[in-house]
């Protein structure tokens, strides 16, 4: 592909370094440059219209062009565009945001701490776990456990929890102190004849043995997404977290719920923790807090953890962590207005009214010859591509089945996301309507039909009457 000299695309290739991108391929193909957006749609510089079927990156809960958020940012910029949150200083929108978050948080959360992204929130939560155990006189209790295929961010610490090859290979990750345990995904990891209940029991038993082998006095925390988003939209068995939490309590290990994707209504409850019976000691949040209009993230902690921090910071003379832009007044104002919109427009009620259709259409695609598993909850779903539905055999890695599926669906004007394990993620803005849900899945099906034709030479033979449906 030849890029026009001095075009935006050519300048992008010349001067920018893109995250999560094959850099050699980017030099050849150049960027897809977006120019405007409205509702659940986004437009490129040539005017082509796409459905944003992954809510950006799981984050634009209110869709695009939400005027109230623009006005909230403008008002705050005109009043107090910046003040920091260090050394006893504070600002009205940040105080109000913390107060609001605690009022809607799961039972037990007492204080809110602000950063700028989900990765930073997880990174700070790791530090909090270490600080907490130092304060309690347990300097060896520092190991952190996450699950294989978890995604928790890409800083040096959070990237050590992210147990996905692409986030660790070449980066010297994971660091010491970070451990991984089994993935709660019955379709791919359950044993033959093993029920979901027995599978959940086995994972809890394995975690128990792992903690005992490491030494409970060395294990500080267990980090878990309610639904494992970027790892493939993996939904745990119903009793999984109850069994896991019993093991953590047995060994005095903190449960940190990573709500960066699941928080603010995505799973049909305000928090994913509520959907899966988690009772966290600490939780991280970001993304839909501001509907992605401005960077913001944070952590909420229990009162027991907070009181420990108070005592230890007094001993040391300072609670020595923070970010220049953490609690930024403009970000806080936009986030606060986002939460007001969620309430004023009953976004949670809307999610509950349309998520049945979303899940029905998602599960119906499980009948497609290319889909081995269709799973989800609320307004988030995953479709796992297989070569053989009966045996669950996957295509060879060189086929790049998920990327091919993404490309085939993209050709129908729908942006989803290829994920590890040959999965495709579906996660529209929370404002999506029933008609738009049907449109999303109609386009997805057409893209999969196109892909099936492409993969025929590789051994995929659809039922003869399938394309007549």
pLDDT tens for each residue of 434-443 = 999 999 999 9
- Give the mean pLDDT of the chain: 95
Contact (CB, 8 A) for 322 and 127: no
pLDDT tens for each residue of 416-425 = 999 999 999 9
| Percentage of residues of the chain with pLDDT beyond 70 | 97
pLDDT tens for each residue of 301-323 = 999 999 999 999 999 999 999 99
Supply the DSSP string of 233-290, one letter for each residue. -BPPPTTHHHHHHHHHHHTT-EEEEE-TTTTTTTTSSSSHHHHTT---SEEEE-GGGT
User: What is the C-alpha separation between 333 and 193, in angstroms, rounded?
Assistant: 52
Q: How confident is the model at residue 197 (pLDDT cuts 50, 70, 90)?
A: very high
With a cut of 80, say whether residue 460 has pLDDT above it: no
User: What is the C-alpha separation between 256 and 9, in angstroms, rounded?
Assistant: 41
Dihedral angle computed from the Cα positions of residues 337, 343, 345 and 347, in that order, rounded to the nearest 10 degrees: 100
Residue 6 pLDDT: 87
pLDDT tens for each residue of 242-294 = 999 999 999 999 999 999 999 999 999 999 999 999 999 999 999 999 999 99
Residue 4 pLDDT: 84
With a cut of 80, say whether residue 458 has pLDDT above it: no
With a cut of 90, say whether residue 462 has pLDDT above it: no
Q: How confident is the model at residue 467 (pLDDT cuts 50, 70, 90)?
A: very low
Residue 453 pLDDT: 85
What domains are defined for the chain? 32-65+347-468 (3.90.1150.10), 68-344 (3.40.640.10)
Q: What distance lies between CA 272 and its chain's CA centroid?
A: 11
pLDDT tens for each residue of 36-75 = 999 999 999 999 999 999 999 999 999 998 999 999 999 9
Residue 450 pLDDT: 95
């Amino acid at each position: 592909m030849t890029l026009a000299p001095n075009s935006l695309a050519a300048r992008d290739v010349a001067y920018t370094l893109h995250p999560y991108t094959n850099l050699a391929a980017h030099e050849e193909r150049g960027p897809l440059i977006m120019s405007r957006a409205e509702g659940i749609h986004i437009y490129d510089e040539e005017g082509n219209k796409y459905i944003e079927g992954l809510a950006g990156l799981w984050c634009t809960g209110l869709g695009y062009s939400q005027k109230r958020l623009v006005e909230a940012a403008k008002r705050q910029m005109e009043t107090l565009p910046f003040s920091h949150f260090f050394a006893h200083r504070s600002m009205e929108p940040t105080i109000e945001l913390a107060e609001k978050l605690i009022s809607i948080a799961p039972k037990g959360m007492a204080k809110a701490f602000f950063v700028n992204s989900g990765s930073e929130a997880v990174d700070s939560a790791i530090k909090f776990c270490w600080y907490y155990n130092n304060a309690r006189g347990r300097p060896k209790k520092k190991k952190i456990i996450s699950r294989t295929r978890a995604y928790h961010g890409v800083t040096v610490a959070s990237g050590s929890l992210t147990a996905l090859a692409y986030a660790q290979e070449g980066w010297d990750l994971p660091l010491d102190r970070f451990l991984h345990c089994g993935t709660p995904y019955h379709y791919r990891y359950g044993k033959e004849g093993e029920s979901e209940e027995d599978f959940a029991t086995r994972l809890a038993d394995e975690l128990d043995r792992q903690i005992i082998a490491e030494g409970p006095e060395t294990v500080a925390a267990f980090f878990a997404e309610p639904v494992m988003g970027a790892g493939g939209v993996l939904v745990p068995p119903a009793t999984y977290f109850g069994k896991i939490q019993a093991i953590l309590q047995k060994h005095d290990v903190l449960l940190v719920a990573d709500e960066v994707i699941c928080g603010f209504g995505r799973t049909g409850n305000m928090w994913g923790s509520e959907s899966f019976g988690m009772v966290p000691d600490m939780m991280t949040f970001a993304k839909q807090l501001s509907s992605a209009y401005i960077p913001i993230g944070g952590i909420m902690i229990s009162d027991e953890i907070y009181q420990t921090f108070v005592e230890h910071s007094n001993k040391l003379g300072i609670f020595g962590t923070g970010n220049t832009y953490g609690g930024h007044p403009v970000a806080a104002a936009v986030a606060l207005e986002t939460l007001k919109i969620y309430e004023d427009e009953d976004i949670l009620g809307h999610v509950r009214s349309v998520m049945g259709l979303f899940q029905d259409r998602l599960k119906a695609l499980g009948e497609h010859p290319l889909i081995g598993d269709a799973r989800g909850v609320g307004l988030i779903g995953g479709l796992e591509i297989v070569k053989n539905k009966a045996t669950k055999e996957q295509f060879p890695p060189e086929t790049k089945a998920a990327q091919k599926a993404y490309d085939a669906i993209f050709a129908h004007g729908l942006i989803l996301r290829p994920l590890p394990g040959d999965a495709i993620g579906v996660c529209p803005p929370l404002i999506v309507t029933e008609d738009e849900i049907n449109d999303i899945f109609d386009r997805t099906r057409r893209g999969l039909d196109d892909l099936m034709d492409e993969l025929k030479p590789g051994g995929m033979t659809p039922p003869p009457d399938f394309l007549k449906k």
